[in-house]
């Protein structure tokens, strides 16, 4: 398989809904941060990518599309590696996006770099913001810079700037596929994210309690 769609939008811009939509349209499987959690080896692969030694074929084996972080950090490299792939920049109101990051994916305290996931988070995400994940003006400025950079770097005919609220129309037109007779997926709201995190924490606690 080779990537047909590359998502350039940061996390919390409707990327889970976009993942599900792409899969429904026949562009799946679609890589997303949830895939990193499923594969214990994946964080180290992304650390290697951040160190300038990516193995895209290994990372994306079996996938036709990718959205969200970690890949959004490397959208330019991926666009070059997969020149036939179309690029989707998922966007959102900056203030709403910032509020969502603070409630979900941006921790109050940065993770330690003594685990593969911690190293990946620091190298692939936190350093984009100079580790200042709670600095409102700084974080939003980087968000705006990133989005402007994608628009400037990717040719217009290859790029779709997309908000999930726009529904199927622009997405299907861009990808050249019919509009499904089904609602546009909507997933991973802040409430969904927090419920998932709580369930994962409960599962870890349960496993620890059951350990001999």
pLDDT digits (tens, 9 = 90+) for 57-91: 999 999 999 999 999 999 999 999 999 999 999 99
**Alpha-carbon distance 194 to 139, whole Å?**
21
DSSP state of 112: P
Whether the CB-CB separation of 164 and 184 falls below 8 Å is answered with yes
Write down the pLDDT at residue 56: 98
pLDDT digits (tens, 9 = 90+) for 117-166: 999 999 999 999 999 999 999 999 999 999 999 999 999 999 999 999 99
Q: Residue 83: give its domain's CATH number.
A: 3.40.50.300
Whether the CB-CB separation of 47 and 119 falls below 8 Å is answered with yes
Name which of 190, 196, 17, 7 is nearest 101 in CA terms: 190
pLDDT of 177 higher than 50 = yes
Angle between helices 94-103 and 190-210 (to 10 degrees): 20
Of the ranges 49-58, 144-153, 198-207, which one carries the lowest mean pLDDT score? 198-207
pLDDT of 211 higher than 60 = no
Number of domains in the chain: 1
Domain that holds residue 109: 5-210
pTM of the model: 0.89
**Alpha-carbon distance 24 to 182, whole Å?**
10
Q: How far is CA 211 from the centre of its chain?
A: 33
**Alpha-carbon distance 33 to 59, whole Å?**
12
Write down the pLDDT at residue 192: 56
């Amino acid at each position: 398989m080779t990537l047909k769609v590359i998502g350039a939008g940061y996390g919390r811009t409707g990327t889970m809904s976009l993942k599900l939509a792409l899969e429904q349209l026949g562009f799946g499987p679609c890589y997303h941060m949830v895939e990193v959690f499923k594969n214990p080896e994946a964080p180290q692969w992304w650390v290697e990518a951040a160190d300038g030694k990516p193995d895209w074929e290994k990372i994306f084996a079996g996938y036709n599309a990718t959205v969200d972080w970690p890949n959004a950090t490397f959208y330019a490299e991926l666009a070059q590696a997969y020149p036939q792939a179309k690029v989707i920049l998922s966007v959102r109101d900056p203030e709403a996006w910032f509020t969502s990051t603070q409630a979900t994916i941006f921790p109050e305290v940065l993770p330690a770099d003594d685990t593969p996931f911690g190293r990946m988070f620091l190298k692939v995400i936190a350093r984009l913001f100079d580790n200042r994940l709670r600095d409102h003006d700084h974080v939003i400025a980087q968000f705006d810079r990133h989005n402007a950079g994608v628009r400037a770097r990717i040719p217009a005919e290859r790029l779709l700037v997309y908000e999930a609220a726009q529904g199927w129309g622009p997405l299907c037109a861009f990808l050249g596929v019919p509009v499904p007779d089904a609602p546009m997926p909507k997933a991973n709201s802040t409430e969904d994210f927090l419920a998932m995190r709580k369930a994962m924490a409960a599962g870890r606690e349960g496993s620890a309690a059951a350990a001999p």
